[in-house]
Structure 1
Amino acid sequence: MREFDYDLFVIGGGSGGVRAARVAAGETGAKVGLAEESRYGGTCVIRGCVPKKLMVFASEFSGLSEDAGLYGWDVTGGAFDWGRFSTRLNGELDRLEGVYRKLLSASGVDTFDCRATLKDPHTVSLANGEEKTAKHILVATGGRPVRPDMNNADLGMVSDDIFHQETLPKSILIVGGGYIACEFACILHGLGVEVTLYYRGAQILRGFDEEARGLIAESMRERGIDLHIGTNIVEMDCAGSDDSDTGMGGPIQDTGETVGDSGMSHRGRQSGDTSDGPIRVKATNGSSRVFDRVLFATGRRPNTDGMGLEELGVKLGRGGQIEVDAYSQTAVPSIYAIGDVTDRVNLTPVAIREGMAFVETVFKGNPTPVDHALIPSAVFTQPELGTVGMNEEDAREQEEIDVYCTSFRPMQTAFIGKPDRVLMKLIVSKANRKVLGCHIVAPNAGEMIQLAGIAIKMGATKEDFDRTVAVHPTMSEEIVTMRNPVRSA
């Protein structure tokens, strides 16, 4: 029998890869190695969910002094200090990376701080010159944001760069209409940046419920975000440069974007390399405007380039994603893949679940397919969007449904005369009365949808919701007090 250096070698130190590595080592006694070329924690911890959510918190303070004054408090607002915030933010990310390293060490996982590629189905080549063999190899290298294919695209930032700015710009153009674009539009606006957003589609947040995305677009405009749909960049250059030196790059192809777990940094242009000068942008609507910064939120790509995967027989999709079966196994039996690198559902908790299912299957003898059905998720716009299950548009294509929906001004902001509105919506099967989907647009919708997701995952019917006594006075009570459908389809 062939001897291997490791039972498992993981490539990628993001949330999914780290979870798989430490559970395999700590709970099954497997000998595990892990290589990470950038920082432990991956996209979620270092350049995604965690720093983004902390920026969300920071941005929400901007209106509190005004609201407090309307409630009777004598409060004086001040300016936002990006330097003070970013220093604290970087300290927290350093702390979290240290936690990840300690978890791996405590579980007995050998770690290698360098890039890893595949030499053969059982051999990993490390950038430090070493080679390690393993019975099983798990690729958990995540994804990275990409710039559009157009002239001077390198003048713009991508989402990774946001956290490394020395100062906040006075104005920014965000290109894209997915949740990364919309979240950063709300965050930066809340921090005092003048925000313009271009999206080439008919409405932002493609794929989400139509009513929910419409309300968020309306709310963004009411808050002062200059939102333009059906609009794209035609050309961009440094303001003041000779226009004749700049070719037309063609309209940007916005594919929509997702964010989730990753263990590798994006390659190519590095954070902080973006233009420090103003940028002139010509748009398809005929306008020509100058912005301090441009942020591209037009797509992400799996980190599979140059890893030697296809040479070994691992199949890649058109977008570079690793193709796997229900058990995360590739076409090469000894090689598995989880997380954003597979482009299934690109969310950190999903990558962690996939890592756990991999360990159950391979190291615990309990074949466990990954369940990607009814995954709750949140978009941290202002207000937030929480969603689980099917949207109305998809559900009515599948079967006959009843739609229960209400939109209203919540007590907290209605009291002080603000126009803010929230939305509560249930999609219900006519055949068996099961709740097929729930969509909430409201402050803290992410917190609400987690609990609604439990009931819907369990197969709750509309009558189960009706039998639940409301918590009053709350926004969420409307979820259990909607008695009559607003429409059927």
Structure 2
Amino acid sequence: MSEPYDLIVIGSGTAAQVAIARVRARGWRVAVIDHRPFGGTCALRGCDPKKMLVSGEEVIDAARRMKSHGVDGDVRIDWPTLMAFKRSFTDPVPDKQARHYLDIGVDAFHGVARFSAPDRIEIEGRELVGRHILIATGASPVPLNIGGEELVSTSDQFLELETLPPRIVIIGGGYIAAEFSHLAARAGAQVTILQRGARLLPQFDETVVGWLMPSFGALGITVHTGLTADSVSQTEEGLIVRATSPNGQLIAVAADLVIHAAGRVPELASLNLAAGDVAVDQGKLRLTPGLQSVSNPRVYAAGDAAGIGPPLTPVSSHDAKVVTANMLDGSNARPNYRGVPSVVFTVPPIAAVGLSEADAHAKGLRFRVNAASVPKWFTARRLNEAIYAYKLVIEKDTGVILGAHLVGPSAEEVINLFALAIRSELTAEALIDTMFAYPTVASDVGYMLA
């Protein structure tokens, strides 16, 4: 017997939680399905647990910088204890989420969800019928298609390590590679990055990434660019990763752990989308501007599964608001990704929002660039931090801030001021005229824009 619902949500992360809260407030009958523990990537396997581990390396880095400047003694990361601290946050999440579903009258199911018809989902031998269906399954690692791929660990597995192996190789050069390499190196591991591209963090401005790169060398991280991983093999001494360059140069790196950090794709493979008449093109859902399936109007998608906006938690929340407005009221809402900030939680962090200089050129805009490395500013000097820099893109005719790219102390917080400015189309003059508390990192914003 089929069970009818106003909305079936596949996935239980940020997008799912926002959507469920909004439709339940209107009295809709809702089912949520996840084949993993309830809570989603951000709370269990992504940004939140990662940031809790970063708390440990921030202390290590601060002590190192302030040694001989009034701070004495050595500190180190106790990996098992730091991991236990992380688990103090993550472990309660699934049960807490399950209780929340019960409290608000949402039927929660564990298992792999599959379409059996355009309006039907099979789950563990049951069939649910949905007036609307939301795909919020998140993303999964892109296949590497190399020999020995089964020996490669995911970022999820790294975040569950009880002990840290002494030799780590990371395949890829984006957010995960940068963040995990900093963390593991500060915890005492020997880290090697194998990046196929010409540089790390290709999503970020090249100049600003260049200012960050000395931090990798200072931590003893070996960075190989222009190398493609070909295979991973097991030996008596551990793992061997082999990689080649475009000109045929071959290298082999020994490791105790190899981490996949080469990108993620929408997690759709298990959904049997063909049975649901849900159109897909090259591994991505075909969606209208309102995040609705072009082939099955009952179906919507949000967050990483939608694959439209940047793969960030605030985007998942924003997508869910768009989707529920369209479901509930027949609105013609569309997502607005203007001014979405992005942060890499290395220490120090790198952050960006809005247009890069290359983007502004491509759009044919008239603009000026304010850029400088400023380790002698008070913000950096009081922390004895050698890396502090900015690059701002400002429209010439209007003074409107188009983009901001930061590296250094509190970049992850200050970028939010620029995000507000870009989303609200504020001018450089408006921020210059703002009276920020002093001395704070935010008070540097006026000097950056002057």
Same fold per TM (> 0.5)? Answer: yes
Q: Which residue of 2 aligns with 1:91?
A: 88
* Structure 2: stretches of 5+ with no match in the other structure: none
Q: Which residue of 2 aligns with 1:388?
A: 353
Would you say the 8 A contact 1:173–1:196 is kept in 2? yes
**Is residue 297 of structure 1 aligned with residue 261 of structure 2?**
yes
Q: What secondary structure is seen at the aligned counterpart in 1 of 2:335?
A: coil
Deviation readout 1:425-461 (Å, 9 max, x if unpaired):
2101123221110111112211111122112211011
1:81 to 67, 78, 82: 78
Whole-angstrom CA distance in 1 between matches of 2:226 and 2:214: 16
**Which amino acid is the alignment partner of residue 98 of structure 1?**
D
Would you say the 8 A contact 2:379–2:440 is kept in 1? no
**Is residue 375 of structure 1 aligned with residue 340 of structure 2?**
yes
Would you say the 8 A contact 1:220–1:382 is kept in 2? no
The two structures have a TM-score, normalised by structure 2, of: 0.92
**Is residue 480 of structure 1 aligned with residue 443 of structure 2?**
no
**Is residue 324 of structure 1 aligned with residue 287 of structure 2?**
yes
2:307 to 316, 339, 343: 343
Deviation readout 1:382-432 (Å, 9 max, x if unpaired):
21112110011111221121001121115465468x562211221011232
Per the TM alignment, residue 49 of structure 1 is displaced from its structure 2 partner at its CA by 0.8
Whole-angstrom CA distance in 2 between matches of 1:171 and 1:412: 35
Q: Which residue of 1 aligns with 2:219?
A: 223
1:47-66 counterparts in 2 under 5 A? 47-66=45-64
Q: Which residue of 2 aligns with 1:31?
A: 29
Would you say the 8 A contact 1:59–1:187 is kept in 2? yes
Deviation readout 1:236-273 (Å, 9 max, x if unpaired):
32235xxxxxxxxxxxxxxxxxxxxxxxxxxxxxxxxx
Q: Which residue of 1 aligns with 2:8?
A: 9
Deviates more, 1:305-314 or 1:192-201: 305-314
Q: What secondary structure is seen at the aligned counterpart in 1 of 2:84?
A: helix
Q: Which residue of 1 aligns with 2:277?
A: 313
Would you say the 8 A contact 1:82–1:167 is kept in 2? yes
Q: What secondary structure is seen at the aligned counterpart in 2 of 1:112?
A: strand
Q: Which residue of 2 aligns with 1:458?
A: 424
Q: What secondary structure is seen at the aligned counterpart in 1 of 2:269?
A: coil
Deviation readout 1:153-198 (Å, 9 max, x if unpaired):
2222121110222310111111111111111111111212111112
1:271-286 counterparts in 2 under 5 A? 278-284=238-244, 285-286=249-250
Whole-angstrom CA distance in 1 between matches of 2:233 and 2:82: 31
Would you say the 8 A contact 2:279–2:285 is kept in 1? yes
Q: Which residue of 2 aligns with 1:196?
A: 192
Whole-angstrom CA distance in 2 between matches of 1:7 and 1:56: 41
Q: Which residue of 1 aligns with 2:325?
A: 360
Whole-angstrom CA distance in 1 between matches of 2:137 and 2:394: 38
Deviation readout 1:279-316 (Å, 9 max, x if unpaired):
12233244333122111211212211131212332111
Q: 1:281 to 1:19 in 2, by over 3 A?
A: same
Whole-angstrom CA distance in 2 between matches of 1:108 and 1:327: 28
Q: Which residue of 1 aligns with 2:401?
A: 435
Would you say the 8 A contact 1:146–1:158 is kept in 2? no
Q: What secondary structure is seen at the aligned counterpart in 2 of 1:306?
A: helix
Would you say the 8 A contact 2:120–2:276 is kept in 1? no
Q: Which residue of 1 aligns with 2:105?
A: 108
Would you say the 8 A contact 2:112–2:270 is kept in 1? no
Deviation readout 1:46-105 (Å, 9 max, x if unpaired):
11111111111122222343344423234342x432222223322321222333223323
Q: What secondary structure is seen at the aligned counterpart in 2 of 1:343?
A: coil
Q: What secondary structure is seen at the aligned counterpart in 2 of 1:314?
A: coil
Whole-angstrom CA distance in 2 between matches of 1:290 and 1:168: 16
Q: 1:20 to 1:415 in 2, by over 3 A?
A: closer
RMSD: 2.1
Per the TM alignment, residue 144 of structure 1 is displaced from its structure 2 partner at its CA by 0.9
Whole-angstrom CA distance in 1 between matches of 2:166 and 2:351: 30
* Alignment size in residue pairs: 441
**Is residue 119 of structure 1 aligned with residue 116 of structure 2?**
yes
Would you say the 8 A contact 1:22–1:109 is kept in 2? no
Would you say the 8 A contact 1:4–1:135 is kept in 2? no
Whole-angstrom CA distance in 1 between matches of 2:41 and 2:439: 38
**Which amino acid is the alignment partner of residue 206 of structure 2?**
E
1:92-241 counterparts in 2 under 5 A? 92-127=89-124, 129-240=125-236
Per the TM alignment, residue 466 of structure 1 is displaced from its structure 2 partner at its CA by 2.6
Q: Which residue of 2 aligns with 1:262?
A: none
**Which amino acid is the alignment partner of residue 56 of structure 1?**
V
Deviates more, 1:393-402 or 1:81-90: 81-90
Deviation readout 1:312-339 (Å, 9 max, x if unpaired):
3211121x22121122110201111111
The two structures have a TM-score, normalised by structure 1, of: 0.85
Q: What secondary structure is seen at the aligned counterpart in 2 of 1:281?
A: strand
Q: 1:475 to 1:91 in 2, by over 3 A?
A: closer
**Is residue 408 of structure 1 aligned with residue 379 of structure 2?**
no
1:228-267 counterparts in 2 under 5 A? 228-240=224-236
Per the TM alignment, residue 150 of structure 1 is displaced from its structure 2 partner at its CA by 0.9
Whole-angstrom CA distance in 2 between matches of 1:223 and 1:344: 36
